[in-house]
Structure 1
């Protein structure tokens, strides 16, 4: 009889024994040991349940049998503690499963559905679910929760120590390029004038300060110039002091360029047309001057802007406004030049929030030496709001946020976890600053913490139910 057939016979014998009132039987993992215990001491005198090889070999029989050498198989009574392995293997005794778990004993069994019901012995609820054992030390008064090593391994609990870290927080926001309004010049006439000539300058042309733009004739300017020339032609110094300064001021009040006034002083002649020049280096944004046209006071003939320094108008979300400060460094990247980074600083935070977009506008000054940034161009800005000084920080995954409060689970060792409320600060790079509630080096749970928190809450509720039920 081979081993498989004999093992089948043994299983059949065990089933027959259970039907006759036999209880007990624990099978260790593998083929190491099987132990059988009787349900009562009175059954120790019952008939053997099977017969085994006299030498301890893995041969069995349900009826009396003899080996090849003529020796009879040994009867195995229900109370025997028999090893099914080779005789060289030692027998192993297994304690009842509810005797001990690790170093802690079972105190009671709780309802699996969270009802305030306890039992000193194993039992099932109305749906057939087993009551859950509660071990010594699991229902600690400090609110901590105790998990077995097996449960910790199955749930994947991991911890990380709180430590000083530098938290770098980047706020990303879109923006557009605008001209620096302090670097825009408008050329307009202060008296009725006629455009005699326009130089070869068009919209978009780059001009230098003092470069001629047009020639203007104005009777008011010519009259003021003649008065000034006549004054400086007088040889009496007192007249020059008394009248010359006032005559020159008339020309300046008419916004005649300084270069044209100096040319009059040198030539001592009144020109027919006055040459108008660019007031600054920049780009011609607007040209309305046309040869022969009549210009009324206030008409804009040219508009010139210096674009070597521009503004980035960035829209910051309302929730990020508390982290933004004047002077913070900003990196802007134009969508036209994604490989380039333009550096600047926040100069102004506008005191108004857009009611539709819930954003506030900040102004960033950007250097634009090669004039690559153009007005109304889109940019993506990154604002570094981090603190260069290290702060006590933990991973963001360790925080249990209920909205009203934030807490973490502190790993106290030996499977015990203590919930603790904390006060948090800035966030960045996957970490969050802890301002109150933790000390440097304390380990906190960073994974499976929601499962531990759920079990802790359930135990607290059960304890509350039990205390309420015990009151008269």
Structure 2
């Protein structure tokens, strides 16, 4: 048995006494060295003074639900890098700046390129030779290959038909947008000389975007591809846009211990802008018949999770628990508690400090016995 000061835990005595620092009577502490659980006795009056509240450990259905944050990003599969496949000079550039909207079929730029002039001349020559030869199969193949070469250099089918009909070489060749989108990068200006290695521009389709969310370790086990999510951007007044998980990244962030999850969201009105922060709610199915306690009962130290359990006769004990998912203010308990036990939900930190102190004294006493 030891006597300790409730205010100054390092004041320990073998006999009843008072604290030399604050003058309070030292409190008696029972040292049950062989007992598995450290028990703290708190009188009914003291429980009221500490405003201790308890809750029963019970079985309940926890809905799998994660509220987290993330960032809106481009759908990388929708980024189109535009390169001219020839050397030449840009003329009549219709795009003014990054962020411009473009529509499928819109003229992007014209290019003067000796390579394209030669390719057109070769096509017209092959076509003329075929006409004069009387539709020989060999010359038909020659025309087909010359047309394919033009297509591979950037001509569309309509332009090739027009060339075949008019029989006139275009000295400035027009290039058109192949899809709707937003200009993400623009590397050229009127009059610039470009090569096939020059990225003329990149265009991104924002009708779908990715939202990259961070999910913490204890919420990862139930995540699945196809699960529904709801995206909100408070800064822009956007709420309740639906999406779904389409990819779960294979590794955790080494610093935050979080897992990245990719959510695909339709963005028809282009409301969602890349690099904007978003709030994300991810919904899963029910986790039925699971043992739960109020989340505020948990004492989380980083190393372990503990709760204070109320025993009979105004006794309390600190208990280590294994926590599963956290949802809707409740914590799933996988190990450490039984259904029907009572845990302290308010005032538990004072009792936990007392239990830690008592445990230290027990180890101290055990050390003296050796």
Same fold (TM over 0.5): yes
**Residues 231 and 243 in structure 1, CA contact (< 8 A), matched pair in contact too:** no
Is the CA contact 2:217–2:257 (under 8 Å) kept in the aligned structure 1?
Answer: no
Partner of 1:173: 69
Give TM-score scaled by structure 2 length. 0.72
1:172 and 1:382 in contact (8 A); partners too: yes
- Is 1:349 aligned to residue 349 of structure 2? no
Q: Is the Cα–Cα contact under 8 Å of residues 329 and 343 in structure 1 kept in the other structure?
A: yes
Residues 404-430 of structure 1: CA distance to partner in whole angstroms, max 9, x if unpaired?
Answer: 443333333442334433212233443
Counterpart CA distance in 2 for 1:216 and 1:130 is 95
Instruction: For 1:405 and 1:397, locate their aligned partners in 2 and report how far apart those are by CA, in whole Å.
Output: 15
Partner residue of 1:159? 54
Matches of residues 215-226 of structure 1 in structure 2 within 5 Å? 215-217=110-112, 218-226=116-124
Corresponding residue SS for 1:213: strand
Query: Helix, strand or coil for the counterpart of 1:191?
Result: coil
Q: Find the aligned partners of 1:280 and 1:463 in 2 and give their Cα distance.
A: 75
2:203 matched to 1:288?
A: no
Residues 303 and 422 from structure 1, CA distance in 2 versus in 1: closer, same or farther, beyond 3 angstroms? Answer: closer
Q: Secondary structure at the match of 1:210?
A: coil
Residue 108 of structure 2: aligned partner: 213
Paired residue secondary structure (1:408): strand
CA distance in 1, matches of 2:44, 2:34: 18
Listed as ranges, the matches of 1:426-465 within 5 Å are 426-456=325-355
* CA RMSD between the two structures: 4.3
Q: Mind listing any 5+ residue stretches in structure 2 that lack a counterpart?
A: 6-11
Give 1:226 shift: 1.5
1:272 counterpart residue number: 170
2:277 — aligned with what?
379
CA distance in 1, matches of 2:366, 2:90: 99
**Counterpart contact for 2:219–2:326, Cα < 8 Å:** no
SS at match of 2:160: helix
Cα displacement (A) at 1:437 = 1.4
Counterpart contact for 1:332–1:379, Cα < 8 Å:
no
Return the offset for 1:211: 2.9
Q: Find the residue that maps to 1:249 and give its secondary structure.
A: helix
Instruction: Say which structure is richer in strand.
Output: 2
Return the alpha-carbon distance in structure 2 between the equivalents of residues 341 and 240 of structure 1.
62
Deviation sequence 1:53-89 (CA, Å, 0-9, x none): xxxxxxxxxxxxxxxxxxxxxxxxxxxxxxxxxxxxx
1:389 to 258, 264, 287: 287
CA distance in 1, matches of 2:242, 2:271: 13
Tell me if the contact between 2:154 and 2:175 (Cα under 8 Å) persists in the aligned partners: no
1:298 Cα deviation (Å)? 3.8
Are 1:229 and 1:269, in contact at CA under 8 Å, matched by a contact in 2? no
Deviation of 1:174 (Å): 5.0
Aligned pair partner of 1:411 in 307, 310, 316: 310
Higher relative contact order (CA 8 A, sep 6+): 2
Q: How far apart are residue 306 of structure 1 and its match?
A: 1.7
Query: In the alignment, is the contact (CA less than 8 A) between 1:202 and 1:284 conserved in 2?
Result: no
Aligned-pair CA distance for 1:160: 0.5
Q: Residue deviations 1:96-140, cap 9 Å, x none?
A: xxxxxxxxxxxxx9746453347xxxxx669787676899xx999
Partner of 2:207: 308
TM-superposed CA distance for 1:436, in Å, is: 0.6
Q: Where does residue 29 of structure 1 map in the other structure?
A: none
The 3-state SS of whatever aligns with 1:166 is strand
* Aligned-pair CA distance for 1:166: 1.5
Q: Alpha-carbon deviation of 1:370? A: 1.0
Q: Give the match's secondary structure for 1:389.
A: strand
8 A Cα contact 2:62 2:327, kept in partner: no
Structure of larger gyration radius = 1
The Cα of 1:457 is off from its aligned counterpart by: 5.6
Q: Which runs of 5+ in 1 are unaligned?
A: 1-108, 119-123
